[in-house]
Amino acid sequence: MSDRLYIFDTTLRDGEQVPGCQLNTVEKIEVAKALEELGVDVIEAGFPVSSPGDFKSVEEISKAVTWPTICALTRAVENDIRVAADALKYAKHKRIHTGIGTSDSHIRYKFNSTREEIIERAVRAVKYAKSFVEDVQFYAEDAGRTDNEYLARVVQAVVNAGATVINIPDTTGYCLPWEFEQKIRYLMEHVDGIHNVRIATHCHNDLGMATANTISGILGGARQAEVTINGIGERAGNTSLEEVVMALRSHKELNIDTNINATKITGISRLVSSLMNMPVQPNKAIVGRNAFAHSSGIHQDGVLKNRESYEIIDPKDVGIDENSIVLTARSGRAALKHRLHVLGCDLEKEALDKAYEAFLKLADRKKEITDDDVLMLAGAHREQH
């Protein structure tokens, strides 16, 4: 049996922090229900103390959703924690996510504090959150730039105080994959009782390594991944849910899997993109418009002979009917023949050769050839023949 990776989705909290991506409560409920159908384990529904709207959304999502744990973010501040507990009162399964910055830069410039004082504040926050809920997750903000020895002391203190999940964010997207794996491994080896809690990765994509770092963290021992749909989030974004899920599915030898129903991935990607008015880049892994589109002749020929020549994922597995063979000036005869066949227009060899010649001329003028163009070419050459 494979090891279970818990998926913590923060589309509605870290993802929604992106300027222009704000959703109203009704829209957030729609996304939360889609996340529940997708099979995520935890939905981070918001930061209740930040605004009455966020409070309301956490409250309403708590009522609307049944299976996933609903999580609310706080700073290590008593009032934040009290408000979060109130917003979560209707949740069937609830978690408070509290924490504080642990890197020297955060300690010095954000908090004008000391390492010892930060540990005391972290412990106080966890104990206070525990007085409201059993499930308390602690985040060590900027853990990516926190030295491992001090980080282990912070983690030891909050584990002793009763935290159930320890989140190790690479807040600034600074780490390299091997470094992040070592960080998680270091905690696994140096914190007493770490095996009784769950370590989470929370990676940002500033260097384009969020997914690589998340997978590395999982290899190091983390068993919760914090992700967003389409990788939306502050600056260059968060780790993409779809990339982590499909990387694990594609590498069965890792023997780690999630509860995600991957066939729902494309649908929720489109939903989040349209509600948040945030287009997905065409070449985005898994959910981009071109993720399963083949345009060069050699690739098209290979895929038509056997899909696996150029595809490591069956598009059906992520909810797409089939790959697309895009007809351009780089397409080969096999691609044209295939499209003609799909459109119900099989041509004899000679007619196909003629149609292909005309197709190349047309494709040099137009960027992409449509089905209407193909039908027009077929008609002209079938008649001539």
Q: Where along the sequence are the contacts to ligand KIV (CB under 6 A)?
A: 14, 139, 141, 167, 169, 171, 202, 204
Q: Which residues contact 362 (CB under 8 A, 6 or more apart)?
A: 369, 373, 377
CB closer to Zn ion, 55 vs 139:
139
Nearest residue to ligand KIV by CB is 169
CA 174 – CA 33 distance, rounded (Å):
33
Nearer Cβ to Zn ion (231/315):
231
What length is written for the chain? 385
Which residues is 203 bridged to in the sheet? 170
Contacts with 366 (C-beta within 8 Å, 6 or more apart), sequence order? 373
- Cβ 183 to Zn ion shortest distance, Å: 16
Q: Work out how close the CB of 313 gets to Zn ion at its nearest, in angstroms, rounded to a whole number.
A: 27
Query: What residues from 58 to 97 belong to the interface with Zn ion (CB under 5 A)?
Result: none
Return the ∠ at Cα 237 (arms to 232 and 240), rounded to 5°.
Answer: 60
Number of residues interacting with Zn ion: please give it, by CB under 5 A: 1
Instruction: Extract the tokens encoding 101.
Output: 């910055």
* DSSP labels, 101-162: E-SHHIIIIIT---HHHHHHHHHHHHHHHHTT-S-EEEEEETGGGS-HHHHHHHHHHHHHTT
Q: How far is the CB of 167 from ligand KIV (least distance, A)?
A: 6
Quick one: which of 180, 121, 182, 130 has its CA closest to 154?
Answer: 121
Q: How far is the CB of 245 from ligand KIV (least distance, A)?
A: 20
357: number of Cβ within 10 Å: 13
- Closer to ligand KIV by Cβ: residue 244 or 327: 244
214 binds, among ligand KIV, Zn ion, none (CB under 5 to 8 A by kind): none
Between residues 90 and 111, which has the closer beta carbon with respect to ligand KIV? 111
Q: How far is the CB of 235 from Zn ion (least distance, A)?
A: 10
Q: Is 44 in the site for Zn ion (CB under 5 A)?
A: no
Site string for Zn ion, 3-42 (x = CB under 5 A): -----------x----------------------------
Out of ligand KIV, Zn ion, none, what residue 139 binds, judged by CB under 5 to 8 A for its kind, is ligand KIV
Q: Are 94 and 88 in contact (CB under 8 A)?
A: yes
Nearest distance from residue 65's CB to ligand KIV, in Å? 21
- Residue 359 interaction partner, one of ligand KIV, Zn ion, none, beta carbon < 5-8 Å per kind: none
Is residue 287 within 8 Å of residue 248, measured between CB atoms? no
**Nearer of residues 94 and 106 to ligand KIV, judged by Cβ:** 106
Buried b vs exposed e over 95-131: b needs ≥16 C-beta within 10 Å?
A: bbbbbbbbbeebbeeeeeeeeeebbebbbbbbebbbe
> Nearer Cβ to ligand KIV, position 57 or 201?
201
User: For the chain, how far is it from start to end, CA to CA, in angstroms?
Assistant: 60
Nearer to ligand KIV, 100 or 345 (CB): 100
Which residue in the block uniquely carries the two structure tokens 């780690």?
A: 256
Residue placing its CB nearer to ligand KIV in the complex, 167 or 230: 167
Q: Is residue 170 at the binding interface for Zn ion, with CB under 5 A as the rule?
A: no
CA distance 383 to 381: 5
* Residue 141 near Zn ion by CB under 5 A: no
Q: In whole angstroms, how close is the CB of 68 to ligand KIV at the nearest point? A: 18
Residues near Zn ion (CB under 5 A) are 14
